[in-house]
Amino acid sequence: MPLIDACATEDIDLEDVMRFDHGGHSYAIYRSPDDEFFCTDGLCTHEKVHLAGGLVMDHLIECPKHNGQFDYRTGEAMRAPVCVNLRTYKVTVADGRVLIDLG
C-alpha cells in the first residue's frame, strides 16, 4: 500500500495528538516532545474511545475515558484498565508532510 499523506507537520503541536480517518478506519497521529511523529489505531483497545480526545504526556497517550495509558511509540498498554496493545504504523516525514504506511 502506498504512503498516505495524512497532514502537515504544523497541523499537530509538540506533545499533542490528532485524529485521522481514512478508508473507514480511525487513526491517531502523535507529535512527541522531541519532535518525532508516530501513528497508532485511533480507538482505545478498552472501549473504543477516540484517543485523539486524550492527553499526550511525554511518550504516553492517556485515554480520555478511564485514563488507561499507552506508549504511542510502540503501542504498548502501560496502565490499567487497558491491557491490549495498540497497533502502530510507520510514519515518514517529507517536505513538511506526515506520511503514514497503512500497509
Binding residues for ligand FES (CB under 6 A): 44, 46-47, 49, 63, 65-66, 68, 81-82
For residue 97, give the C-alpha cell: 508532510
In the Cβ-directed half-sphere of 18, how many Cα atoms lie within 13 Å? 17
* Nearest distance from C-beta of residue 88 to ligand FES, angstroms: 17
Element housing 88 (H / E): strand 88-94
Nearer to ligand FES, 39 or 98 (CB): 39
Q: How far is the first Cα of the chain from the last one, in angstroms, to the nearest whole number?
A: 5
- Smallest separation, CB 15 to ligand FES (Å): 20
Nearer to ligand FES, 20 or 70 (CB): 70
Residue 27 pairs with which residues in a beta bridge? 20, 41
What's the min distance (Å) between Cβ of 33 and ligand FES?
22
Residue closer to ligand FES by CB (options 49, 60) is: 49
Coil vs helix vs strand at 13: coil
Cβ atoms 62, 55 nearer than 8 A: yes
Query: Which residue's CB is nearer to ligand FES, number 44 or number 100?
Result: 44
